[in-house]
Structures are given as C-alpha cells and as structure tokens.
Chain A
Amino acid sequence: GENVEQHPSTLSVQEGDSAVIKCTYSDSASNYFPWYKQELGKRPQLIIDIRSNVGEKKDQRIAVTLNKTAKHFSLHITETQPEDSAVYFCAPPAGGTSYGKLTFGQGTILTVHP
C-alpha cells in the first residue's frame, strides 16, 4: 500500500507569513495529489488538487507543487490569515489512480497568529 509522510506535524506562523507543508509518498503509480483542510470539529474539505501531468497549480493564495521524480508534493499558503488555522492533510491515492480511495497523511496543525 501507499506510505505517506507529512512534515511538519505542527507549524506556527505570524499573520502575513508564508507556510509550506510537504508530503512524501511511496507509490510511483500515484497520479492524483489532493490537499484537504479540516477545521476543528468539522469535516475535511478539499482545498486544492493536482494531476501528475502538471507540476504546479495555483488558486489565489494557495498553490501545490509536485515533484514526481522525488515522490513528494507540497502545499504553499502565502499571506496567511488567522482563518487559515486548521489541520491540513495530504492524501495521495492508494493504488495509484483512484480519486476516492485515498491514503491520508498524519496531518499538519497550522496556527496563524494575528
């Protein structure tokens, strides 16, 4: 199965700073790379995803970069705001190509201080 490691496990930044979370995976067949955000007591919500034929994708203050050779992808948040405080999960697929059978990382707790 897919082995997923996410770093760091906790990240504390000042409002306006950038935050970067890295996810490494083991299955070279993986071709879909999503990031989920989960606020306290809420459900996980997809914030950005990338397919393997693209190296980078950006959506306003959020971006994801992919390095398939090294088998890692990263979440970048610029100009952080207090409402970005949450747990972030990477979740590459178990078995390569599924969009639903995902292997979640352990999560990164991001705290943005005003």
Chain B
Amino acid sequence: DAGITQSPRHKVTETGTPVTLRCHQTENHRYMYWYRQDPGHGLRLIHYSYGVKDTDKGEVSDGYSVSRSKTEDFLLTLESATSSQTSVYFCAISEANSPLHFGNGTRLTVT
C-alpha cells in the first residue's frame, strides 16, 4: 500500500465542528497531497506540500487548511465542517519525476 496510512478511515461529524484528517507515510517522499473524490467530479486537488512547512493551494482549497511539521505527516483540517465537505478524502505521495501513489482514503460525512 505504498506505506501510506490515513486516519481515521471513517468519520461522521456535525456541521460547524472542526475536523482533522491525518496522513502518515513511511516512504520518506518529499511531496504529499490531499485530494477529495465526489460523484461526477473525479478527484480534485485540495492542498499539497513540497517539504516540511512548505504547502500550497490546489483547485478546491476553500474551507481547508493543511500543516506539515514532519516529513512523514500531512494534516488536513476543516475549521468548520459543512455538508458540502462530505466526501472521500485521499492522501497521496510522490517523489520528483515519479508517479503519484494514494492512501486508502477517509470517508467523511458531515450531518
């Protein structure tokens, strides 16, 4: 599974609550990404990181923040969850000039 662990695997939360999803890798890859997957939209990039403390926005970053304090960990935070953020969230890793590999995903439901 390319040494990527996402936690939790499933979460149900209420509108307005903060939520943090964690991605942990054991591959020592430089680049880490958060994507979300929704029916009819494929996968869309939320945020990515190109090193410790170096992050940037993707296509659908509004309402999300990220942090990377260690090479192996990349956190995605929803400061105040909304129903439109109900989705499956995938973490992915890569090295320079090498393909993207995904974790097993976190299914988030915001009620």
What is the interface of chain A, defined by CB distance below 8 A to chain B?
1, 34, 42-46, 49, 89, 91, 94, 99-107
| Majority-rule SS of A interface residues | loop
A89-B102 contact given A100-B33, A100-B92, CB 8 Å threshold: no
Chain B residues whose C-beta falls within 8 Å of the C-beta of A106 in the assembled complex: 40-42
**In the complex the two chains form, what is the Cα distance from A106 to B42 in whole Å?**
5
Whether the pair B42, A46 counts as a contact (CB closer than 8 A) is no
Number of interface residues of B (CB under 8 A): 25
Whether the pair B104, A43 counts as a contact (CB closer than 8 A) is yes
A101-B33 contact given A1-B59, A89-B43, CB 8 Å threshold: yes
Chain B residues whose C-beta falls within 8 Å of the C-beta of A102 in the assembled complex: 43, 45, 100
B94 within 8 Å of A by Cβ? yes
A100-B42 contact given A1-B59, A34-B99, A43-B102, CB 8 Å threshold: no
**What are 26 A-B pairs with beta-carbon distances under 8 A?**
A1-B59, A43-B1, A43-B103, A44-B43, A44-B90, A44-B102, A46-B99, A46-B101, A89-B43, A91-B43, A94-B45, A94-B59, A99-B94, A99-B100, A100-B33, A100-B48, A101-B33, A101-B45, A102-B43, A102-B45, A102-B100, A103-B45, A104-B42, A104-B43, A105-B42, A107-B42
